[in-house]
Chains A and B, each alone.
Chain A
Amino acid sequence: MLKMNDISKIYRTDLVETHALSGVNLTVEEGEFIAVTGPSGSGKTTFLNITGLLETFEEGQYFLDGEDVSQLSDKHLSRLRNEKIGFIFQGFNLISDLNLYDNIEVPLIFRGLNKQIRKQRIEESLELVGLGSRANHFPAQLSGGQQQRVAIARALAGKPRFLLADEPTGNLDTMMARQVMELLQEINRQGTTLIMVTHDNELAQRAHRNIQILDGQLSDIAKSQLTDLAV
């Protein structure tokens, strides 16, 4: 479903070139749950941005559902983000001036879905995350865990090919973090591919497959190694 060949990303300033990613190869299959870990500055965020089509890259190829996305225009990339990727961010990134219903509706409008389908999907996804009765609330009226569930609902409403989660529980306390994580796992069990970037090894252990980034390079590691690294 997702395939990266030799992807490199270089940040240039006047003085230095930083190789944020170098020669990344990755294949993700339908239905997988992948956790990407790595220390700060290892290239995690760059990997996330490239995977999420939020940033372009210099070298290599990236196939999404068999389509090469390396040379696409902003317009095309925007459409792909909208249709194929569901984002879940550490900071939730809800639009504070819109209520939950409207927040979820935004990407569906970008998609060009008609009003009835939008309504149906919004209600379904809010129901799924357990916030069906609060469509008219504003983000500020919810707890952090609830806000993240809204973000998940927003990601799911678009029926994306995969969810891209960036430290989804980073801003939450332990209890809420567990609830959110369980929700994500449940969603994955129902068939949605999940790629999660985190620095939390405990969370990473819940994934089917673990990938580590070190100095811009990717490597598959066994779960047992995670705890060692954490120490």
Chain B
Amino acid sequence: MAIKHILKLIFKHKSISLLITLQIAIAVTIVGNTSFISYRTLQNWLIPSHMAEEQIINVYTRVFDKDLDQGALIERDLQNLRALPEVEFASYAANELVLATVNGRNFVHNSLDREKQGERLALFAQTPQGVEALGVKLTQGRTFYDTEYMFTSTGPQAQRASVVVISNTLAQALFPEQNALGQTLFLHTERLPYQVIGIYEDMMLGENAVYNNSWYHSAIIPEAHYGQNSQVNYILKVHTDGSKRTLENIENLLFKEEGRIVKQVEYAARAKKRLWDGRSTFAFIMMGISGIAILVTGVGIIALVSFSISVRTKEIGVLRALGASQNRVLRTLLLENSILAFVGIAVGLFAALWLNQYFVTNLRIQGLIVPWLAAIVAIAVWLLSACAVYIPARKAAKIAPAQVTKTS
């Protein structure tokens, strides 16, 4: 049959055609929006961290006994931690743990010009073994000498370091024109100068930096101050991949010290999971809803098409007798459905755009429209509807032409 005839039949079977179209339209609305919303989340999700997530451990403790000498405590802790058989490296860390920013927002500047906006970064203020605990791989320059490490209490008498190692991406962002090695950059609100002595391969290290889309911006300075508040945190590297037992051993060890509690001991993997938790859960639920929508729509189309075929068994038999091959019957039904699907998809895409607009303006949802994604959704839904039709259509194609000679 020609498209003309198919269209006529579609208009004749108004209710079924309308129902199929409506169903496809709603499915496209749901799936279209879900993909817009989930896409960005998944994009973030897939950014590689380039680090040993199951070997780096963040330790958060809180010293509640105000009489305790934090400096001495940290020295003791580091010594005890390094004595654990699992622990390879241990370093005190101030406000930045791996993918967990405890305090503050950090900027780095390549000049003293106050007008110029700096780059966001994860600033790791570490004691010896800090570089090793993070597992950075230097591509240029060197790491710190032991004499360059400054470890003092906070306040006016705090000593500052003068050198820094930075990530490759940060080096390029700060010094796009020349080699960053040997250059001076400025840190902290006071804009203190630090000389770049090393550049390392990119790693995704900072929570705040990630939230601000500066995935790979990080720097390590060999200065660590304590006593600003009750928090005393560590970064460790262990050689037992992801073992729970290791976490417990560390917690038990640190709890032996009176006047302090261990709030959390976790692998970087967990911190990374937490980074995307909210948005990824949202995306997963949306994908779940999409999946259900696809399933229900698929089943619905099968049911509706089966029905419309059962009504037309005789008609199809006549077509067969008049010389329509099985293939032609199949093609005709698929074509008929494709026309419906096309209308449904068009309507659904418009509805999806409208709903997306509604979400973005009324519900603070980020879900930018991605045209190629819309195209994929359209094709996918069309394929789904074609598959759903194929099942009853194949049955229809098998209707024997001899049907017509049966007297009813």
A and B touch in the complex (CB under 8 A): yes
Within 8 Å of chain B (Cβ to Cβ): is A49?
yes
Stretch from B183-191, B269-277, B321-329, B379-387 forming part of the interface with A: B321-329
Tally chain B residues at the interface, Cβ within 8 Å. Answer: 30
Within 8 Å of chain B (Cβ to Cβ): is A91?
yes
Closest B residue, CB atoms, query A48: B405
Given the complex, which residues of B lie within 8 Å of A154, measured CB to CB? 322
Min distance, Cβ A139 to any Cβ of chain B, angstroms: 12
Stretch from B4-12, B209-217, B278-286, B335-343 forming part of the interface with A: B4-12
Report the interface size class on chain A: 35 or more
**Total of A-B residue pairs, C-beta within 8 Å:** 94
A111 lies within 8 A of B315 (CB) = no
Within 8 Å of chain B (Cβ to Cβ): is A162?
no
Whole-angstrom CA separation of A94 from B401 in the bound complex: 14
Given the complex, which residues of A lie within 8 Å of B2, measured CB to CB? 105, 109
Stretch from A58-66, A80-88, A177-185 forming part of the interface with B: A80-88
- Max chain A CB contacts within 10 Å: which of B401, B402, B405? B405
Q: Which of B324, B404, B406, B407 contacts A110 (CB 8 A)?
A: B324
B328 lies within 8 A of A89 (CB) = no
Within 8 Å of chain B (Cβ to Cβ): is A78?
yes
B323 lies within 8 A of A111 (CB) = yes
Given the complex, which residues of A lie within 8 Å of B402, measured CB to CB? 45, 49, 54-55
Within 8 Å of chain B (Cβ to Cβ): is A102?
yes
A81 lies within 8 A of B322 (CB) = yes
- Max chain A CB contacts within 10 Å: which of B12, B327, B402, B406? B402
Q: Which of B4, B12, B326, B405 contacts A166 (CB 8 A)?
A: B405
Q: Which of A55, A80, A90, A93 contacts B314 (CB 8 A)?
A: A93
Min distance, Cβ A5 to any Cβ of chain B, angstroms: 22
Per-residue CB contact flags for chain A residues 187-212 toward chain B (1 = under 8 Å, else 0) read 00000000000000000000000000
User: In the complex where A54-B404, A91-B408 touch, is A102 in contact with B321 (Cβ < 8 A)?
Assistant: no
Given the complex, which residues of B lie within 8 Å of A166, measured CB to CB? 405
Whole-angstrom CA separation of A210 from B314 in the bound complex: 31
Within 8 A of A (CB), among B58-98: none
Within 8 A of B (CB), among A161-184: 166-167, 170
Per-residue CB contact flags for chain B residues 287-323 toward chain A (1 = under 8 Å, else 0) read 0000000000000000000000000001101111111
Residues of B within 8 A of A (CB): 1-2, 4-5, 8-9, 12-13, 314-315, 317-328, 400-402, 404-408
Beyond A53-B401, A97-B9, A111-B323, 16 additional contacts (C-beta under 8 Å) are A45-B405, A49-B405, A52-B405, A75-B325, A79-B323, A83-B323, A91-B404, A95-B315, A95-B318, A97-B12, A97-B315, A98-B8, A105-B5, A109-B1, A110-B322, A167-B407
14 cross-chain CB contacts under 8 A:
A45-B405, A45-B406, A52-B405, A53-B401, A54-B321, A74-B327, A79-B323, A81-B401, A82-B324, A90-B407, A97-B9, A102-B8, A107-B323, A110-B322
